[in-house]
A and B are shown apart, each in its own frame.
Chain A
């Protein structure tokens, strides 16, 4: 188990190092000289230019810049923003950092039981009309991009029947539609997987045994079958969380939520590259941590994995 855990942690450190190299490299190749952009119409001011260059550390050799960038990232310091002169990227990120990861996590926590419920519902009625209908809804849910779904839902529930606010952030009502849009694709994905895994497990000998000894059907499902689908299902949590992180970009853009995603998009257009790179690094970190958590959980849940490594 410890060797398994160590290998996973080492893998993540490697990925994060690659991410730091990539983002640093990207910063060197992005178009435009940030200092000239910052200077704007004061571009003739040589003294100010030299001072800004020194403040941003851009007058030092590249290797030195990389070492200090790496050191900074390790301490949670992503340098200075290009858009807001002399403001640390850390401060620019603060608001979004309290919104986006929370939004993704809440959506994850809600979509897992909903998805498992839907999948179980369909699997228990395999071959019936209820199963076909559920599967149809699931395929639909996977196929409709969440921003397309957003236009339907906003039109229905905020325009036609004005129950919910069209956009904005701060009140609980304003969180409903964004959360629904994040949950639907995740729930649908989990639902399809649950149905597949459950139908597979229901073929096992121990299920036949459980039924043969007269166990009631819901006990067969919940105590014997569903538990064994949780193991393969847990490996997909990482992929789902990755999807949710991407989803926050879309949802934040639609509803004007001041999260990390909408900040990153604005920063691409404002050429505030240090902020973009910080969001890239943070999201890679969240994604890696969730995957690490899932791997370790998997090891705990399934002794076969733990012992074979």
Chain B
């Protein structure tokens, strides 16, 4: 109930919900085949048959926009799923077991933090070749240490809690302590962190696609559409402007939603 009173969370939720709906229904809403080349419609202006106009190959921008939403969200969710599995697992083990495992995991995280993230992405793109796989691998590589560090610190603060001691003394197996006692108690802050991360992951994916290292033609992404559109900004601005608008809306939506969720869980933070 209180969440609905948080303006940021509501605005963010509406924007995210809207874009998610577009992404899910995209292929059915798209008026044209996103790959269909139409030489008659090259750089057709918005309006008429092509609501958002057409691109350099006469492909319908609205259709590519809708499918692009699906690709962006799909990549972001895959990256999120991988970082959560790796980050939470390593964080829990590192925090609960400690010792050598802890040192190794945290040193590895430190080393990854020591690189500018785009640089790692370029290294991965060079080895794997530009494409969707390179994007997912490089973003997962960059994002798991943050989740692992957060999880570890949460586990450390719970490790000495009375209910954990009680579980240990009553002979509960370690795996069960982790899954049934610790995990439910750390899930909320991790979820907030994850929701704050989605906006940045989408932005990073778009950046890589914009640079040409990400998702490749003919599959549309907003990042690549902006790159194609920026060259034609002088004569046919609609491609770059629509794609930029879409991208900005999603990222703003996720950031607002994340901010709202954080304030909701931690009322102290909202006064700032």
Which residues in A have some Cβ–Cβ distance to B below 8 Å? Answer: 11-12, 14-15, 18-19, 22-23, 26, 29-31, 139-140, 142-145, 147-152, 154-155, 158-159, 166, 195-196, 199-200, 242, 245-246, 249-250, 253-254, 264-265, 268-269, 273, 276-277, 279-280, 283-284, 287-288, 291
| Stretch of B19-27, B88-96, B114-122, B166-174 contacting A (4+ beta carbons < 8 Å) | B114-122
Q: Could you list 6 further interchain pairs (A-B, Cβ under 8 angstroms) beyond the known A280-B119, A287-B119?
A: A14-B111, A147-B207, A151-B244, A246-B118, A253-B210, A265-B211
Chain A residues lying within 8 Å of B127, measured Cβ to Cβ, are 26, 29-30
- A sample of 10 cross-chain residue pairs with beta-carbon separation below 8 angstroms, ordered by A number, consists of A148-B206, A152-B241, A159-B234, A249-B211, A250-B210, A265-B212, A268-B122, A284-B114, A284-B115, A287-B116
C-alpha gap A123/B10 in the complex (Å): 25
Chain A residues lying within 8 Å of B213, measured Cβ to Cβ, are 265, 268
C-alpha gap A284/B119 in the complex (Å): 8
Chain B residues lying within 8 Å of A264, measured Cβ to Cβ, are 122
Q: Is the CB of A139 within 8 A of B123?
A: no
Q: Is the CB of B116 within 8 A of A142?
A: no
Q: Is the CB of B226 within 8 A of A151?
A: yes
Q: With contacts A15-B111, A249-B118, A269-B212 known, is A144 near B251, CB below 8 A?
A: yes
Which residues in B have some Cβ–Cβ distance to A below 8 Å? Answer: 110-111, 114-119, 122-123, 125-127, 129-130, 199, 203, 206-207, 210-213, 223, 226-227, 229-230, 233-234, 237, 240-241, 243-245, 247-248, 251-252, 255-256, 259, 272
Q: Is the CB of B210 within 8 A of A246?
A: no
Chain A residues lying within 8 Å of B116, measured Cβ to Cβ, are 242, 245-246, 283-284, 287
Chain A residues lying within 8 Å of B227, measured Cβ to Cβ, are 147, 253
- Closest Cβ of chain B to A111, distance in Å, is 17
C-alpha gap A258/B13 in the complex (Å): 41
Q: Is the CB of A155 within 8 A of B251?
A: no
- Closest Cβ of chain B to A129, distance in Å, is 14
Chain A residues lying within 8 Å of B230, measured Cβ to Cβ, are 147, 150-151, 154, 254
Q: Is the CB of B118 within 8 A of A245?
A: yes
User: Which of A31, A148, A284 is the one whose CB lies under 8 Å from B248?
Assistant: A148
User: Which of A12, A148, A254 is the one whose CB lies under 8 Å from B247?
Assistant: A148
C-alpha gap A291/B245 in the complex (Å): 34
C-alpha gap A234/B37 in the complex (Å): 52
Q: Provide the main secondary structure of the chain A interface.
A: helix
Q: Is the CB of A288 within 8 A of B114?
A: yes
Chain A, Cβ-Cβ closest to B235: A159
Q: Is the CB of B233 within 8 A of A159?
A: yes
C-alpha gap A242/B125 in the complex (Å): 19
Q: Is the CB of B233 within 8 A of A151?
A: yes
C-alpha gap A139/B247 in the complex (Å): 15
Chain B, Cβ-Cβ closest to A25: B127
User: Which of A143, A245, A273 is the one whose CB lies under 8 Å from B255?
Assistant: A143
- Closest Cβ of chain B to A219, distance in Å, is 24
Chain B residues lying within 8 Å of A18, measured Cβ to Cβ, are 111
Chain A, Cβ-Cβ closest to B134: A268
C-alpha gap A291/B113 in the complex (Å): 11
- Closest Cβ of chain B to A268, distance in Å, is 5
Q: Is the CB of B122 within 8 A of A199?
A: no
- Closest Cβ of chain A to B272, distance in Å, is 5
Q: Is the CB of A268 within 8 A of B126?
A: yes
C-alpha gap A158/B234 in the complex (Å): 8
Chain A, Cβ-Cβ closest to B245: A148
| 9 interchain residue pairs of minimum CB distance | A148-B244, A246-B118, A151-B240, A143-B252, A242-B116, A15-B114, A143-B251, A144-B248, A151-B244
User: Which of B118, B125, B244 is the one whose CB lies under 8 Å from A152?
Assistant: B244
